[in-house]
Amino acid sequence: MKSVSGRSNLTFALSALLCGFTLVEVNYARLGPQAQLAIFTAFGLILCFLNVPMVKGRAASITTRAVDVSLALLTLGCCAYVVCQTEPAFASSWANGRSLGNRAGYETSLDILVGGTGLLLVMEAARRTLGWALPLLSGFFLLYAYFGVWSPDWFFPHRGYPVDRIVAQSFLHSQGVFGVALQVMFTYVFLFVVFGALLGATGATRFVIDFAARRFGGTPGGPAKVAVISSGMMGSLSGSAVANTVATGTFTIPMMKSAGFPAHEAGGVEAASSSGGALAPPVMGAGAYMMLELVQPPVTYLEIVRAATIPAILYYLSLYFIVHFSARRRAIGHAGTSADIPAIEKGHPFEGLVFGVALTSLIVFLALGYTAFRAVSIALLVTAVTSSFHVRTRLSWAKIRTAILDAAKDATPLIAAAACVGVVIAVVTMTGVGTRLPATILPLAQQNLFLALLLIMVSSLVLGMGLPSAVVYLLLATLMGPVLDQLGVVPLAAHMFIFYFGMMAMVTPPVALAAYAAASVAGSDIMKTSWAAFRFALVGFTLPFIFVYRPELLLMSNAGGFPPLGDILAAVIVAVLGILTFAAGIAGFLWSRTPTVERVLLFVASALMLAPGPTVMIGPFPLHVLDVSGVVLAIPLVLANWRRR
């Protein structure tokens, strides 16, 4: 018991130091960028080794605990070495009187030993938190960097690099582990994770679920609508599809099952709803903050939020329609009383006030031109002060402790993933494959935008098997972003396209992590739940294509500026009609059941309205031929179904 208590106290101390260090250093930097990231990485990896078991599902033994402590101490040593060899305060310890960056190409044997050990530690931390996919990918790129000289012509051969150069590029310098991926996690993402944890401690989760239940719980398919609304709101705070699925699914999935939804469909609704939260404004997930660093020409956080707003609304509107029509077809109403439904403690109006003030303050400070990290830092302070005025929301020591532990727990996989992705980026930069891959794909796509989009979609879904959506985005934005730029896509639309499919990988069989989490809560078959989640989220696979061809849905024109209001309204109306008919086709119900032929025609009408097509000018007004065709086909179908109600 003493050992467990001691480890718990150590975990809390490290978590508190991680939160405090990041909050202070981001706002009032005293260290150089590489030293900042080395300390940030040390906290994340040490927490990983101390709390994530070496073998999942197996109890720790004396031997494994000794290994964990040894890895934690090695992590501390490697990261402390980077700090000492880069910070001027430790100049007396620099090898040959030069900092680590100034002796690039002339690293000492100790440098290489520390760097190699650090790489192994990063990949082991990624394996523990995310599984084998990302460390194997990183290992493959490291082997490619060494053996590239023997690669066949079709596999982007290069001159090959010695081990010391690979280690230096990947760990010791600022292009690898301590590069852009980890910088984004440190500067932006972690503070938003803390923001979400603090809001949860004030009762925000309880308020959101209770609000959705009171507003939609008594309507047809009410519990499923509660899942859609609450998961969207909470997903914006966490940015993690899996964490959101477990957190809100604990309440919503039993409610849906009690109301009459099959277990696999209840899990599918929750997984699809939680996955969309990663790009739901105003907080959004890690991808938004990565875009701040990667999109060229640079964009502001508010521009990203503005661009994400309409697609997020359309995605959740489609889920709402699908669950509504599915419930009507099955005559499912609200949830009855059942012992299987967890008790949802009623939300208090002041919890809603704290929730609203917190998000409003964040948006206001962003609108005033504050940087994202400064705005969220002030919003944290506003939340803490506002919550102190009522006993229900007041942050007691126990709540603060829980929030700190939750923030560190949620951030640990992100830190390990970002560090491991840095290895891939280092090799891409060193070997030049990042510029050669687009040059190969462009002729393959034959300058065909749609074919290039399909290739990127498939790449995103494949990489998304086992990787967080933010990691998938970072990899593909590095490798494939230039392809879309050269094909004339608006840069922000290109990056949104890439991130959306990384997000959709969470519900794409055979490896659908959010659906797996939902299946464990629902007690349903994993594959049936995955296919149900895929079916509910299908409109998410069309939205990226729509906004690439119609950037008005991102509130921008092809030239990148703000489009005319009429163009925006026309694009939104057609998209909503397309989603409505698509949802009716998926559910097999509109006002009444849809026969098979009618259902097929609804899909056709939806495809016509959602697909790009030729434009004919009638005077000064553009007329989209496929849009008009889809509307003309849909109107008699809708009227016929309405008459049969």
| b/e burial code for range 570-586 (CB count within 10 A of at least 16 → b) | bbbebbbbbbbbbbbbb
Report pLDDT for 454. 82
d(CA 96, CA 103): 9
Least confident of 13-27, 203-217, 525-539: 203-217
Burial category of 59 from C-beta neighbours within 10 Å (exposed 0-12, middle 13-18, buried 19 and up): exposed
DSSP string, 139-201: HHHHHHHHHGGG--GGG-------HHHHHIIIIISTTTTTSHHHHHIIIIIHHHHHHHHHHHH
Flag whether pLDDT at 338 surpasses 60: no
Three-class SS state of 538: coil
637: Cα separation from own chain's centroid: 38
Q: Strands of 207-254 (E only): list them.
A: none
Is residue 504 within 8 A of residue 461, CB to CB? The reply is yes
Question: Other C-beta atoms within 10 Å of 642: how many?
Answer: 11
Give me the percent of the chain exceeding a pLDDT of 90.
25
Structure tokens at 624: 């989209």
Is residue 330 within 8 A of residue 260, CB to CB? The reply is yes
230-240 confidence digits (pLDDT tens) = 887 776 666 66
d(CA 341, CA 250): 9
d(CA 68, CA 54): 8
Is residue 475 within 8 A of residue 501, CB to CB? The reply is no
Q: What is the mean pLDDT of residues 167-195?
A: 87
pLDDT range class, residue 249, cuts 50, 70, 90: confident
Q: Closest Cα partner for 48 from 300, 393, 402, 413?
A: 413
Is residue 539 within 8 A of residue 596, CB to CB? The reply is no
Phi-psi region of 555 (alpha: psi -120 to 50; beta: other; left: phi over 0): left
426-454 confidence digits (pLDDT tens) = 888 888 776 676 666 666 665 677 877 88
Contacts of 580 (CB under 8 A, 6+ apart): 321
Q: What is the mean pLDDT of residues 575-599?
A: 89
- Strand 621-624, strand 615-618: pairing: antiparallel
Burial category of 401 from C-beta neighbours within 10 Å (exposed 0-12, middle 13-18, buried 19 and up): middle
Higher pLDDT, 151 or 107: 107
Q: Closest Cα partner for 285 from 101, 474, 14?
A: 474
41-58 confidence digits (pLDDT tens) = 999 999 999 999 888 777
Report pLDDT for 341. 43
Structure tokens at 575: 């998209």
Least confident of 134-148, 279-293, 345-359, 376-390: 279-293
Least confident of 289-293, 422-426, 441-445: 441-445
Is residue 381 within 8 A of residue 84, CB to CB? The reply is no
